[in-house]
Amino acid sequence: MTSLRQLLGTHAPLLLIDAASARVQVGLFEADGTARWQTSEEEAGVGVFCSIEALDLDLATVRAFAFCEGPGSVLGVRTTAMAVRACQALAARPAFAYCSLAVVAHALGQRDTTVIADARRELWHRYSLEAGLRRVPATELVGKLVMPDGFRHWSPLPANVDRTPYLLADLLARTAKADLFRETDAPDAFLHEEPSYATWMPQIHRAPAPAP
């Protein structure tokens, strides 16, 4: 794991793409930490590429990419990962993934606070500075809870949850020294575990046997 400050020391200009929330956020970071941002309220398939275009940058000058691998909008996360892979296909450059909830938790800096996001099927992602990222049932959401703005939910929100802004220009400025980024050679959405598949045995369809 490495920090944004360390990344910028070796990999700037760095293009960061995040569509984990309802707002697409794209930032171009220079070595001195300054950044230009574009945001979009369009769905990720449009907003990501419109935001990159609006930055009016030469992609050939970008030396590395950073992207949010989740939790958050699965479609948004996969769209950003696909955009990074497409850029890497033009020229090989490293990619670094980060966790949305970890960025929020480190920016808040409160060890008694848990940051949550809906994981569907009555489960929740939860991140705390003490325990890291876990997936738990709603019954385990206790204590002081916050949920980033713009993160959708399908299960009812816990009664004790507050909302907190998910504005990366602010969050990343406050967490520039935190080790939040990991290099990956296969940009994709984060999974708590790899999917498992049942074995299917093909069978030739036959008409029912006639009754004796």
β-sheet bridge partners, residue 75: none
CATH 3.90.1150.10 fits 2-100+166-184, yes or no: no
In the chain, what percentage of residues exceed pLDDT 70? Answer: 90
Give dist(CA 123, CA 120) in Å, integer. 5
**Residue 206 CB: number of other CB atoms within 10 A?**
6
Q: Identify residue 172 by its one-letter amino acid code.
A: L
CA 42 to chain centre: 17
Give dist(CA 192, CA 118) in Å, integer. 14
What pLDDT does residue 152 have? Answer: 94
What pLDDT does residue 10 have? Answer: 96
49-106: pLDDT as tens digits:
999 999 999 999 999 999 999 999 999 999 999 999 999 999 999 999 999 999 999 9
90-112: pLDDT as tens digits:
999 999 999 999 999 999 999 99
| Sequence spans of domains, the chain | 2-100+166-184, 102-164
> Quick one: pLDDT band at residue 17, thresholds 50, 70, 90?
very high
Cβ contacts of 99 within 8 Å, gap of 6 or more: 68, 69, 70, 71, 127, 133, 180, 190
156-206: pLDDT as tens digits:
999 899 999 999 999 999 999 999 999 999 999 877 654 444 566 676 666
Give dist(CA 79, CA 48) in Å, integer. 8
Single out the residue of 168, 127, 167, 173 nearest to residue 146, CA to CA.
Answer: 127
What pLDDT does residue 27 have? Answer: 98
Q: What is the mean pLDDT of the chain?
A: 92
Let me know how many helices (H) and strands (E) the chain has, helices first: 5, 12
6 phi/psi in degrees, rounded to 5: -65, -40
Tokens representing residue 155 in the block = 């299960």
Contact by Cβ (8 Å): 101, 125: yes
Give this prediction's pTM: 0.89
